[in-house]
Structure 1
């Protein structure tokens, strides 16, 4: 009994040493290896069967791993299929619709430059603009198209622009003096074709009589087009020459005019810009107190109450002037500050009953271009000024950027 008690006292007197304390004096690498060995030993014991009748855990672990892998792979395949199905649906949505078969498409296909063949191809054919929906789009520098005027009309574009140079009494159309050619005149590219179109659109063929003046659009005969002349030579004399060539259309009642009390719409609205002086519009020799058929392109960034529907139609400005330069628009589009400024200008133009328009819009890259188009449309732009008329009129560019991909 005394021995047991003595042994117990000796045990209590000797301090117990833990494994951790034993390892304190060993190098760090050795301690880490020892702990990993113990962890592996614990894992092995957890998988070790105490007797042969005990089921091995490995088949269950393999089955669960295979189940997890199969499920993950299946979900990935389903996600892949859904993603591409949705993507293909959006591609079908934005792809351009085929052009309708009508007089316009036939004219575009067979068009040649005026004066190059005799007799000249027709400027009007039956079912002229059948199935073409008019759109509030302005064809900037329209004379640069493969087929001036007709390319734009075939797409439903309601605004065209011709740069006019007065040289030796004739109005030539071109961007610069060096680009002028004798067969490309304001009359041959625009006025003669428009005269033929409107004459045929208003011909009753002896079957029906009507006092209504029809425009170029079969689906909406009251929808007119804007014919904008960008004067490149001295303003007063060039505008006077343009007005003189428009006289036959004016006499037929085909030009929109201000009556002194309101706007009387016609199939063609003539807007003068470029070197056009505002005073030349107000004091045109073809105008009086109850008739004015030329309208000014007012400064959208500096509108005052002197510009209104009685003397102006467009209110335009270069978007680069508004945002501070050609490189101030981000790839993601207009900033909140830029949008706020533009919204203010658009609202001001609307309050004066003017059609807002911005030119010099980004042309490249395409995703930036279509983003700016969409932003301007959302702000209520009056007329979308574009150079890429086919993309603007035929593509559903509002859906161009989907799932991080640019589809147009």
Structure 2
């Protein structure tokens, strides 16, 4: 009988993960670890005991798995959305305003006549780093700081509603708004006189015969001072012209000399009750000299009445042009409306006039900014706005994105 030695069981060598991965490239190691983690996660949810008779534990585990995955995806989406939103806000947020004489005046401004001595209307480096913009400050006297708020933002057109009461010109929208401290002189003419006087003082180093305007970066760029006459036109315009006489004598007003326009730092435009006849002929206007210009009707330029010799702006309420079935929608101007506006703007330009639409949509903000952009693209001469900070400092082409109004 043979004695056979019991066969030894062959023991498989234990191979660790480290041993397996020693020769594996790093990228494959990472993929392996990711697959292993995913496998463990699935098993933790898919584990089932064959002895379980009810299917509900398995269903509950699957539901929990789906909820966990959904929650993770939602958190990731939320983070990405808000990261993009914050990046966009940083992208369109305007830089800090420049520090110059204008910003200092705005910060310290008080109502005329309330303190003695009155705060200055001009300070050194008056409009440094301010870029002039073809924007009209509608109802400018409603600003916290009339005139200076607009100038600090580079706005080149301001508007004052003038009421002639007992020989004085008061500024306000309606008669009930008038106050003794808020006159055409105190809010506009006196500050402009101080500004232009100081802008044209010889510095002792170099002098020039050129008359400097408000803007340091472009001293030949003028501003438009529009008077919207609320009381009887002939008498009110005569009072405005009389108060402008000191500026006229210094050569600060743009005028027509009978053959051409001679530009000055200030262009005076009359609107509201301003009589066209008085613009053409008065104590201050005739065929060889005219320093007041009319606000011609933008929707009625078919005649040969209005041209650069007697008018500057050519304006109309946009709601007059587009009313009833042509009313502006929340999406802005339609193709048909754009064609009408383009023809009016081109007609005004051909006559040497500056086109302007007022009464633009104010709300919602997305509609307002869309119409601004559309008019700018059409080449409108002056963009009439109420929200001057938004119009001048924000990139309003990007203000309405991701379903949010960011400006």
TM-score by length of 2: 0.80
Aligned partner of 1:272 in structure 2 is 270
CA distance in 2, matches of 1:242, 1:326: 40
Three-state SS of the structure 2 residue aligned to 1:217 is coil
CA distance in 2, matches of 1:90, 1:347: 36
Q: Confirm whether residue 167 of structure 1 aligns to residue 173 of structure 2.
A: no
Alpha carbons 2:281, 2:287 under 8 Å: kept: no
Alpha carbons 1:93, 1:396 under 8 Å: kept: no
Match of 1:237 among 229, 235, 238: 235
Deviation at 1:329, TM superposition (A): 1.7
Deviation at 1:372, TM superposition (A): 1.0
Alpha carbons 2:171, 2:184 under 8 Å: kept: yes
Three-state SS of the structure 2 residue aligned to 1:301 is coil
Match of 1:179 among 177, 183, 196: 177
Alpha carbons 2:390, 2:396 under 8 Å: kept: yes
Aligned partner of 1:315 in structure 2 is 314
Alpha carbons 2:169, 2:183 under 8 Å: kept: yes
Alpha carbons 1:319, 1:359 under 8 Å: kept: yes
- State the aligned residue count: 346
Match of 1:228 among 226, 229, 232: 226
Alpha carbons 1:298, 1:314 under 8 Å: kept: yes
Aligned partner of 2:146 in structure 1 is 148
CA distance in 2, matches of 1:338, 1:380: 15
Aligned partner of 1:118 in structure 2 is 116
Aligned partner of 1:373 in structure 2 is 372
**Structure of higher RCO (CA pairs closer than 8 Å, 6+ residues apart):** 1
Aligned partner of 2:344 in structure 1 is 345
Deviation at 1:180, TM superposition (A): 0.6
CA distance in 1, matches of 2:202, 2:224: 25
C-alpha distance after superposition, 1:187-241 (max 9, x if no partner): 1100000000000000013222111100000111111100000000111111111
CA distance in 2, matches of 1:326, 1:207: 64
CA distance in 2, matches of 1:362, 1:327: 14
CA distance in 2, matches of 1:326, 1:246: 44
Alpha carbons 2:247, 2:253 under 8 Å: kept: yes
Q: Which moved more, 1:73-82 or 1:390-399?
A: 73-82
Point out where structure 1 has 5 or more consecutive residues left out of the alignment. 1-65
TM-score by length of 1: 0.80
CA distance in 2, matches of 1:404, 1:379: 26
Deviation at 1:290, TM superposition (A): 2.5
CA distance in 1, matches of 2:356, 2:204: 42
CA distance in 2, matches of 1:134, 1:89: 29
CA RMSD between the two structures: 2.5
CA distance in 2, matches of 1:120, 1:155: 23
Aligned partner of 2:281 in structure 1 is 283
CA distance in 1, matches of 2:306, 2:395: 34
Aligned partner of 1:331 in structure 2 is 330
CA distance in 1, matches of 2:116, 2:405: 46
Point out where structure 2 has 5 or more consecutive residues left out of the alignment. 1-64
Aligned partner of 2:137 in structure 1 is 139
Aligned partner of 1:392 in structure 2 is 391
Three-state SS of the structure 2 residue aligned to 1:220 is coil
Deviation at 1:85, TM superposition (A): 4.1
Deviation at 1:97, TM superposition (A): 2.4
Alpha carbons 1:320, 1:326 under 8 Å: kept: no
Deviation at 1:313, TM superposition (A): 0.4
CA distance in 2, matches of 1:326, 1:160: 33
Deviation at 1:402, TM superposition (A): 2.3
CA distance in 1, matches of 2:351, 2:84: 44
Match of 1:247 among 245, 248, 261: 245
Alpha carbons 1:97, 1:395 under 8 Å: kept: no
Cα distance 1:232–1:325, how it changes in 2: closer, same or farther (>3 A)? farther
CA distance in 2, matches of 1:148, 1:345: 31
Aligned partner of 1:296 in structure 2 is 294
User: 1:202-221 alignment to 2 at 5 Å?
Assistant: 202-221=200-219
Deviation at 1:81, TM superposition (A): 5.7
